[in-house]
Chain A
């Protein structure tokens, strides 16, 4: 008994000796920035002078900041393309992957390799591939006699960037849905087929409702992703045309380092996080269902 408790003490000492350095590290590289984040949000500062307290001015400024309001619209515009594109294509991918007869590993790897690609490399790659006189437009020109201004028309630019992001994430999200599909018991389908249900009914009454947790997961991941878009528009369109592809992250970066206003930039980051968190909560409230296989 006494040996056991002595042993527990030794163990706790070891535990503390590990977590105390970790807590010290976290206090410096997480706690200190956390405090600075709060300070910056309520002050005015230009990196050099002493921060001056301005109450809620940074937050109030957003309501009259036309660029910020434009970015909210841009983000909604991105979401309007990206969420349906990603959900439908990765669902189709997952459903098709279940039916595949051979070559499943090759298919999965090809789609996943897009996911581990480097943001900088593929942005440069696509900006060349889809350039006005680039290879893709040459194919379109030869086949249909038209060229498409992929990145110079505002709506098309948003659509093209969404296309690239879909290219990147369909494999990853598709496999999340595929794993969800695997969890639906086959017996449910067999029972429903005995009752005379056709393929359509099976999909809408069994597959889709039971896939709800995975579908919500993918939607939530895609929303958080959309609020964090930076590399693609920064390198491909530079936020243009007419600031229509400017995202929260680009604006945060520009505000901090081009307009030398880190306090407003931090406020933008906080509000961006709150908006994304709010939208995620809303989506979960509306769409999330309890699913259990009994």
Chain B
């Protein structure tokens, strides 16, 4: 018994050590972005701190026609728009196919499950053709409109709404509530964790999306940060400091939203098992 106790403490310390190893790349990234360029590869603890790399990103990069600040807000705009749209449309369609009894709803529910079988990359080139036919290349629409709804989000909301007792809806109807009121004032708050999971994964997915914007966006002024950073790295690979500083900026929103919604992330993992 005693031996097991000691073993458990050894495992605990080992895992805490590994946890630090796991975030070490982040720590290195963060510290390095404040180090003078010649120290980045050589020393871990900075001898002196500098804001040069961030100054370069915020001010100088514009002269290279690489507007990082603008790209950050492009990413923010695109990701937030898509996230809100996905949450709202998923809640609406999820409600229609899970709570309203009609044949079209059941058919649509089966169709969304079928849709999820197809990996996104199969549609990428044909979708590019569509965007090109719309003359939407190098526009924000190309990055936003194809992602406005999500079969997975609809499925998640439909599953969550199914478990809410009918009494809640009946009670609201007695009080004269209309359908929109029922969805967003009665059902939605009861499915709060689903909404957070769908929102979190959608935001992260869009913010981190790389291949699709790489295909449809060549205009530096409308690029999301991920693509601008990659193109900057491609052409100015020796500017290690600014690249690392840009990586810090690219990472921060994802880490912040993850830390805010971490409880739901854990719930999402156990949900994906069912």
**Contact residues of A with B, CB < 8 Å?**
8, 11-12, 14-16, 18-19, 22-23, 25-26, 28-30, 32-37, 40, 47, 93, 96-97, 99-103, 106-114, 116-122, 124-126, 128-129, 131, 133-135, 138, 167, 171-172, 175-176, 179-180, 213-214, 217, 224, 227-228, 230-231, 235, 249, 252-253, 256-257, 262, 265-266, 269-270, 272-273, 276
**A270: nearest residue on chain B (CB-CB)?**
B122
Which of B7, B132, B272 is most buried by chain A, counting CB atoms within 10 A of its CB? B272
B residues within 8 A CB of A102?
12
* B92 within 8 A of partner (CB): yes
A113-B23, A120-B226, A131-B41 given. 18 additional CB < 8 A pairs? Answer: A11-B100, A19-B93, A28-B130, A40-B125, A100-B8, A107-B16, A107-B18, A107-B19, A110-B22, A111-B22, A112-B262, A113-B258, A121-B251, A124-B243, A128-B40, A128-B41, A128-B244, A217-B272
B residues within 8 A CB of A135?
28, 41-42, 44
Q: Do A19 and B272 form a contact, CB below 8 Å, given A33-B127, A103-B16, A112-B258?
A: no
Q: Do A15 and B102 form a contact, CB below 8 Å, given A40-B125, A120-B229?
A: yes
Q: Which residues in chain B, 1-41, are within 8 Å of chain A measured between CB atoms?
A: 7-9, 11-12, 14-16, 18-20, 22-23, 25-26, 28-29, 40-41
Closest Cβ of chain B to A197, distance in Å, is 15
* B210 within 8 A of partner (CB): yes
Closest Cβ of chain B to A218, distance in Å, is 10
**Is B130 a contact partner of A36 (Cβ separation < 8 A)?**
yes
**Is A100 a contact partner of B123 (Cβ separation < 8 A)?**
no
**Is B211 a contact partner of A231 (Cβ separation < 8 A)?**
yes
**Is B15 a contact partner of A96 (Cβ separation < 8 A)?**
yes
24 pairs, A vs B, C-beta closer than 8 Å: A11-B101, A15-B104, A16-B102, A18-B96, A19-B105, A22-B108, A25-B149, A26-B115, A100-B8, A106-B19, A107-B15, A110-B19, A112-B262, A118-B247, A120-B229, A124-B230, A124-B244, A129-B25, A214-B273, A228-B119, A252-B121, A269-B121, A269-B122, A269-B124
Closest Cβ of chain A to B46, distance in Å, is 13
| Interchain CB contact (< 8 A) of A118 among B123, B211, B251, B265 | B251
**Is A179 a contact partner of B28 (Cβ separation < 8 A)?**
no
**Is B145 a contact partner of A29 (Cβ separation < 8 A)?**
yes
**B5: nearest residue on chain A (CB-CB)?**
A101
* B204 within 8 A of partner (CB): yes
B residues within 8 A CB of A175?
266, 269
The A contact surface, by secondary structure, is helix
A204 to B118, CA, bound (A): 36
* B128 within 8 A of partner (CB): yes
**A269: nearest residue on chain B (CB-CB)?**
B122
A residues within 8 A CB of B265?
112, 116
Closest Cβ of chain A to B135, distance in Å, is 14
**Is A109 a contact partner of B262 (Cβ separation < 8 A)?**
yes
Closest Cβ of chain B to A28, distance in Å, is 8
**Is B42 a contact partner of A34 (Cβ separation < 8 A)?**
no
- How many chain B residues touch A (CB < 8 A): the figure is 83
**A217: nearest residue on chain B (CB-CB)?**
B273
**Is B119 a contact partner of A276 (Cβ separation < 8 A)?**
yes
A residues within 8 A CB of B42?
135, 138
A residues within 8 A CB of B255?
113, 116-117
B residues within 8 A CB of A262?
125, 128-129
A37 to B244, CA, bound (A): 39
**Is B19 a contact partner of A37 (Cβ separation < 8 A)?**
no
**Is A100 a contact partner of B22 (Cβ separation < 8 A)?**
no
**A22: nearest residue on chain B (CB-CB)?**
B93
* B52 within 8 A of partner (CB): no
**Is B119 a contact partner of A121 (Cβ separation < 8 A)?**
no
A residues within 8 A CB of B108?
19, 22-23
Contact mask for chain B residues 203-222; partner A; CB cutoff 8 A; 1 contact, 0 none: 01001101100110000000
* B270 within 8 A of partner (CB): yes
A residues within 8 A CB of B80?
none
Contact mask for chain B residues 147-160; partner A; CB cutoff 8 A; 1 contact, 0 none: 01100000000000
Q: Do A18 and B93 form a contact, CB below 8 Å, given A37-B122, A99-B12, A100-B12?
A: yes
A34 to B26, CA, bound (A): 40
Q: Do A22 and B28 form a contact, CB below 8 Å, given A15-B102, A97-B15?
A: no
**A267: nearest residue on chain B (CB-CB)?**
B125
Q: Top 5 nearest A-B pairs by Cβ distance? A: A33-B126, A110-B19, A36-B126, A121-B247, A15-B100
A residues within 8 A CB of B16?
103, 106-107
**B93: nearest residue on chain A (CB-CB)?**
A22
